[in-house]
A and B are shown apart, each in its own frame.
Chain A
């Protein structure tokens, strides 16, 4: 036999169990998981490493990377904390549930009078009725009020034990079991096999942007992979039998046991231009089946096929065909070039700044914007547009956004072309005025003429001669000098706009004479520019013998503004979209999550359990009946653990009710 001292020393196992199941640990874990979760919301997860390096610098990047902060919820330490939470909860259930189940069933018909008198609520009285008559009345009353009763005879008294709301305990068991079930189900869907394989070096994410067919074996997952969440974009008429899984700074390729064909993609829009709905008609070609399976999916309406769920996630361009005209912006001649290309294609071009790459990025069939205030319509459609990047040999790119149709602004029409140097900036728009034929031709002709030094000199000389003869001036040297100045000013203007001239003056002329010089220059420049414009109009066949119309002179002002903006535009050509053939692509998300039903079971348990715990109130009532001659001494006692206040009121009511029930027979 063990000595008492020995018996009191708990074994190591017991101590461990005690610790794991302790409330202190549980609460600590709840708070720790909460705090740890914050990290992953503050630090954007699973971004390209390059972005993190720029944000935090190389040192902190390494520190954060090694702590797994870029993918917190898959980091080892986070999973360990979660595992502890699951273990702690399981131990807690293991230790408490059997007692609770026992207690739920038990009536506790052996309670001493002393304990009853010590309870939170007690009433004592004498009833004029014998025990045998009293007992059924009390029990009936209690039953009527939702109590289950049991009575037991003891030496000198009889005890009715009553209880209700035992389900409260079940609530505890349900909620805590639910947590364990949900976490285990989640673990199944948590790509654990992939993580393990990656740790063992059996797979490695691919970081290059290359076609799936060129991705090496090590980045491919097995076809039977039980749980994953991947994406694939399929153009209309195209097929795909794979999905891409994002993994940190790269991706993995998941082959599917079937191929998905996108038959048609439809998108509807609100009048505001926002997408209203988009859906894809899919055909699943499964070698296991003779007939392909057809289905239409939409946002919120996925297709579940053989345990694979296929979601409508996004949409994109599928490589729309673009027919473009390239107009030179820095050439003295207006030689246009036709370009046939498509979105996602790229072209090498020779420019004055060296060899550059044109990358066509996207196409939009329409652009709805809020209409100006004075219009009677709410929205205005700016028509189709496309974007492209112009990348130089150093890899630096400018992004351009060109609209196909001229857009009406303040009563005039312009071809809009936006430019920006990085995606976080708004576009800066070049407004190319559209001529009466609805073409950028006139502006571009003027712009080309500006750069044709020989023609400019000719026209300048002609203008000067004419002016001199009108003013009857006879200074032969002056003609040459003014003509040369005009040529020089036009050159400066073509290179830097009006600002270029002002800068030039500021750099070369002393301050006190600047205003004067600028004024003089502007007068001379205006003179030659309007002569050049008149030349353009004449070449176009416009009759200007009666002077220039108001519309044409407004056009002239818009033209000068656009030329002034050209240096900021920074492209040696303007790409005009002549026609297009839209091809759409549907972005699908494909998932396999066998743990889902387990998790949903957990959800159900949790919901039921929570309400049981809070709203099924556990009550225990005891009625002690001790015969005293023809009378009975009654002790009524009860406990309601969590809500003493409510129980107090309930007990008063119960006392009055039960006492009356005993008296009336």
Chain B
């Protein structure tokens, strides 16, 4: 396994955590805190106590995230700069998205999302190209494309947030309220998780696989937008008007994203496994990482997903207790969340206590994605219930 010089130096650093933080870390923290205070100062009249707490929590999480994983900083700064530019271009007129050049072709939410879509699909192809030609340069291009797509996707969400207020002040809400919006969130979160592992494990060979699932999400998004006009900003139904939405939905999508990533790593695992069984010698020269490493990524990803999914489901239950009159009603969405949870709980038990490894676990992770997909999409499509916010 290759480890960069930077990483090595970082790990050999023996100073306690806080002393290890340099000037840049503190500047980062300062920027985030200043930005959050500005946001609070500007909008506190519109926020209730919980929302102020969520803002503070987000700021703390963002500082910590930027400290633990450096690329978060340029990513956040780029998103902030572009989003603010778009907000400034808009002023108070939603019509600007058709008249202003930058908005119309680049950074109005719908345009940004189209850029995101194009870049993710291109990045998928480039990753595969880089893997099969073993081209270092193409790999770097693919990574850059993925980062750009992720920035554009996040900008799309941020600008959409603002647009919802411009369309009609009554409509304004965080864009995680329907299937269209959460699909963008899904693509962005899955990509971020992948980029984290790409850097941590210093391999781009998984890029194509993971971005395949993101491309599938993009394909759905485009169909949903062009065929169903799902990108239109709609007002919130009363049940969704709650601060819970701001934490329940993103937590859920960290879970979904991680499960999707694990499944795609599972696919890579099975391919590598088949190669090794056919020809153990030649497999050492495979373009795919070692089985051991793939297994490790798969486990870590499922563990992360499971932890967040647990929190998300519990937050959902707390919200349900406030909105629907009971923390658990065996509503189809709730029940399917439980099924997904039980499935991964069984997977983790198998691995941690029975020590299962190898192809069966990879297959299971792939099946898990389909179960997750049903919980996420199928329930909305085929089953009725309280949780019908994104009907197809």
Binding site for B on A (CB under 8 A): 23, 26-27, 30-31, 33-34, 37-38, 40-42, 44-45, 72-73, 144-145, 186, 189, 229, 270-272, 274-278, 298-302, 309, 311, 313, 589, 591, 593, 596, 599-600, 603, 606-607, 610-611, 614-615, 642-643, 645, 649-650, 653, 656-657
Contact partner of A277 among B238, B293, B384, CB < 8 A?
A: B238
Q: Is the CB of B349 within 8 A of A23?
A: yes
Would you give the shortest CB distance from A601 to chain B, in whole angstroms?
A: 12
Q: Is the CB of B171 within 8 A of A270?
A: yes
Residue among A298, A301, A610, A642 with most chain B CB within 10 A = A610
Q: Which of chain A's residues have a CB closer than 8 A to the CB of B321? A: 596
Q: Is the CB of B307 within 8 A of A610?
A: yes
Q: Which of chain B's residues have a CB closer than 8 A to the CB of A41? A: 332, 335-336, 379, 383
Q: Which of chain B's residues have a CB closer than 8 A to the CB of A642? A: 352
Q: Is the CB of A270 within 8 A of B330?
A: no
Q: Which of chain A's residues have a CB closer than 8 A to the CB of B12? A: 653, 656-657
Q: Is the CB of B349 within 8 A of A38?
A: no
- Some 13 contacts from A to B, beta carbons below 8 A apart, are A30-B345, A31-B346, A33-B342, A41-B332, A276-B235, A300-B239, A300-B242, A302-B325, A311-B323, A596-B327, A610-B306, A610-B307, A614-B303
Q: Which of chain A's residues have a CB closer than 8 A to the CB of B27? A: none
* Chain A, residue nearest B309 (CB): A610
Would you give the shortest CB distance from A340 to chain B, in whole angstroms?
A: 34
20 further contact pairs, Cβ within 8 A, besides A44-B384, A270-B171, A607-B314: A26-B349, A27-B350, A30-B342, A30-B349, A31-B342, A37-B335, A37-B342, A38-B339, A73-B330, A189-B326, A270-B168, A300-B323, A302-B325, A309-B325, A313-B325, A603-B314, A606-B310, A610-B307, A614-B304, A643-B296
Q: Which of chain A's residues have a CB closer than 8 A to the CB of B11? A: 649-650, 653
* Chain A, residue nearest B15 (CB): A144
B237 at the interface (CB under 8 A from A): yes
Q: How far is the CA of A313 from the CA of B352 in the complex (A)?
A: 44
Q: Is the CB of A302 within 8 A of B322?
A: yes
Would you give the shortest CB distance from A176 to chain B, in whole angstroms?
A: 11
Interface residues on B, range: 35 or more
Q: Is the CB of B328 within 8 A of A270?
A: no
* Chain A, residue nearest B338 (CB): A37
Q: How far is the CA of A642 from the CA of B241 in the complex (A)?
A: 42
Q: Is the CB of B383 within 8 A of A42?
A: yes
Q: How far is the CA of A45 from the CA of B334 in the complex (A)?
A: 14
B354 at the interface (CB under 8 A from A): yes
Q: Which of chain B's residues have a CB closer than 8 A to the CB of A271? A: 168, 170
Q: Is the CB of A270 within 8 A of B235?
A: yes
Q: How far is the CA of A72 from the CA of B338 in the complex (A)?
A: 15
Q: Is the CB of B307 within 8 A of A229?
A: no
Query: Which 9 A-B pairs rank lowest in CB-CB distance, beginning with the nearest?
Result: A299-B238, A589-B325, A34-B342, A41-B332, A30-B346, A311-B325, A270-B235, A300-B242, A34-B339
Q: Is the CB of B384 within 8 A of A23?
A: no
B111 at the interface (CB under 8 A from A): no
Q: How far is the CA of A189 from the CA of B328 in the complex (A)?
A: 10
Q: Which of B301-324 contact A (CB under 8 A)?
A: 303-304, 306-307, 310-311, 314, 317-318, 321-324
B16 at the interface (CB under 8 A from A): yes
Q: Please encode chain B, from 359 to 389, with 1 for each CB lying within 8 Å of some chain A CB and 0 for all others.
A: 0000000000000000000010001100000
Q: How far is the CA of A603 from the CA of B310 in the complex (A)?
A: 9
Q: Which of chain A's residues have a CB closer than 8 A to the CB of B306? A: 610, 614
* Chain A, residue nearest B351 (CB): A642
Q: Which of chain B's residues have a CB closer than 8 A to the CB of A300? A: 238-239, 241-242, 322-323
Q: Which of chain B's residues have a CB closer than 8 A to the CB of A38? A: 335, 339
Q: How far is the CA of A378 from the CA of B325 in the complex (A)?
A: 36
Would you give the shortest CB distance from A10 to chain B, in whole angstroms?
A: 21
Q: Which of chain A's residues have a CB closer than 8 A to the CB of B338? A: 33-34, 37
Q: Which of chain B's residues have a CB closer than 8 A to the CB of A278? A: 238
Would you give the shortest CB distance from A653 to chain B, in whole angstroms?
A: 6
Q: Is the CB of B354 within 8 A of A23?
A: yes
B281 at the interface (CB under 8 A from A): no
B136 at the interface (CB under 8 A from A): no
B343 at the interface (CB under 8 A from A): yes
Q: Which of chain B's residues have a CB closer than 8 A to the CB of A596? A: 321, 327
Q: Please encode chain B, from 278 to 303, with 1 for each CB lying within 8 Å of some chain A CB and 0 for all others.
A: 00000000000000110010000001
* Chain A, residue nearest B171 (CB): A270
Q: Which of chain A's residues have a CB closer than 8 A to the CB of B350? A: 27
Q: Which of chain B's residues have a CB closer than 8 A to the CB of A653? A: 11-12
Q: How far is the CA of A217 from the CA of B12 in the complex (A)?
A: 77
* Chain A, residue nearest B235 (CB): A270
Q: Is the CB of A591 within 8 A of B325?
A: yes
B6 at the interface (CB under 8 A from A): no
Q: Is the CB of B238 within 8 A of A275?
A: yes
Q: Is the CB of B241 within 8 A of A229?
A: no
Q: Is the CB of B325 within 8 A of A610?
A: no
Q: Which of chain A's residues have a CB closer than 8 A to the CB of B353? A: 23
Q: Which of B154-213 contact A (CB under 8 A)?
A: 168, 170-171
Q: How far is the CA of A30 from the CA of B347 in the complex (A)?
A: 10
Q: A23-B354, A30-B346, A34-B342 are in contact. Are A299 and B241 (CB under 8 A)?
A: yes
Q: Which of chain A's residues have a CB closer than 8 A to the CB of B311? A: 607, 610
Would you give the shortest CB distance from B78 to chain A, in whole angstroms?
A: 29
Q: How far is the CA of A607 from the CA of B309 in the complex (A)?
A: 10
Contact partner of B237 among A34, A37, A275, CB < 8 A?
A: A275
Q: Which of chain B's residues have a CB closer than 8 A to the CB of A603? A: 314, 317-318
B227 at the interface (CB under 8 A from A): no
Q: How far is the CA of A7 from the CA of B215 in the complex (A)?
A: 62
Q: Is the CB of A45 within 8 A of B330?
A: yes
Q: Which of chain A's residues have a CB closer than 8 A to the CB of B332? A: 41
Q: Is the CB of B242 within 8 A of A27?
A: no
Q: Which of chain B's residues have a CB closer than 8 A to the CB of A299? A: 238-239, 241, 323
B93 at the interface (CB under 8 A from A): no
* Chain A, residue nearest B378 (CB): A41
Q: Which of chain B's residues have a CB closer than 8 A to the CB of A27? A: 346, 349-350, 354
Q: Is the CB of A645 within 8 A of B292?
A: yes
Would you give the shortest CB distance from A167 to chain B, in whole angstroms?
A: 15
Contact partner of A274 among B237, B328, B383, CB < 8 A?
A: B237
Q: Which of chain A's residues have a CB closer than 8 A to the CB of B170? A: 270-271, 276
* Chain A, residue nearest B311 (CB): A607
Q: Is the CB of B327 within 8 A of A599?
A: yes
Would you give the shortest CB distance from B323 to chain A, in whole angstroms?
A: 5
* Chain A, residue nearest B341 (CB): A34
Q: How far is the CA of A488 from the CA of B230 in the complex (A)?
A: 55
Q: Which of chain A's residues have a CB closer than 8 A to the CB of B379? A: 41
* Chain B, residue nearest A590 (CB): B325
Q: How far is the CA of A145 from the CA of B17 in the complex (A)?
A: 10
Q: Which of chain B's residues have a CB closer than 8 A to the CB of A657? A: 12, 14
* Chain B, residue nearest A641 (CB): B352
Q: Is the CB of A37 within 8 A of B322?
A: no
Would you give the shortest CB distance from B58 to chain A, in whole angstroms?
A: 18
Would you give the shortest CB distance from B254 to chain A, in whole angstroms?
A: 13
Q: Which of chain A's residues have a CB closer than 8 A to the CB of B307? A: 610-611, 614-615
Would you give the shortest CB distance from B307 to chain A, in whole angstroms?
A: 5
Q: Which of chain A's residues have a CB closer than 8 A to the CB of B3? A: 649
Q: Which of chain A's residues have a CB closer than 8 A to the CB of B352? A: 642
Would you give the shortest CB distance from A103 to chain B, in whole angstroms?
A: 15
Q: How far is the CA of A229 from the CA of B328 in the complex (A)?
A: 11
Contact partner of B16 among A23, A72, A144, A656, CB < 8 A?
A: A144
Q: Is the CB of A229 within 8 A of B325?
A: yes
Would you give the shortest CB distance from A173 to chain B, in whole angstroms?
A: 15
Q: Which of chain B's residues have a CB closer than 8 A to the CB of A145? A: 14
Residue among B14, B238, B239, B306 with most chain A CB within 10 A = B238
Would you give the shortest CB distance from B328 to chain A, in whole angstroms?
A: 7
Q: Which of chain B's residues have a CB closer than 8 A to the CB of A649? A: 3, 11
Contact partner of A593 among B242, B324, B326, B339, CB < 8 A?
A: B326
Q: Which of chain A's residues have a CB closer than 8 A to the CB of B239? A: 299-300
Q: A26-B349, A270-B170, A278-B238 are in contact. Are A591 and B326 (CB under 8 A)?
A: yes
Q: Is the CB of A40 within 8 A of B335?
A: yes
Q: How far is the CA of A367 from the CA of B352 in the complex (A)?
A: 58
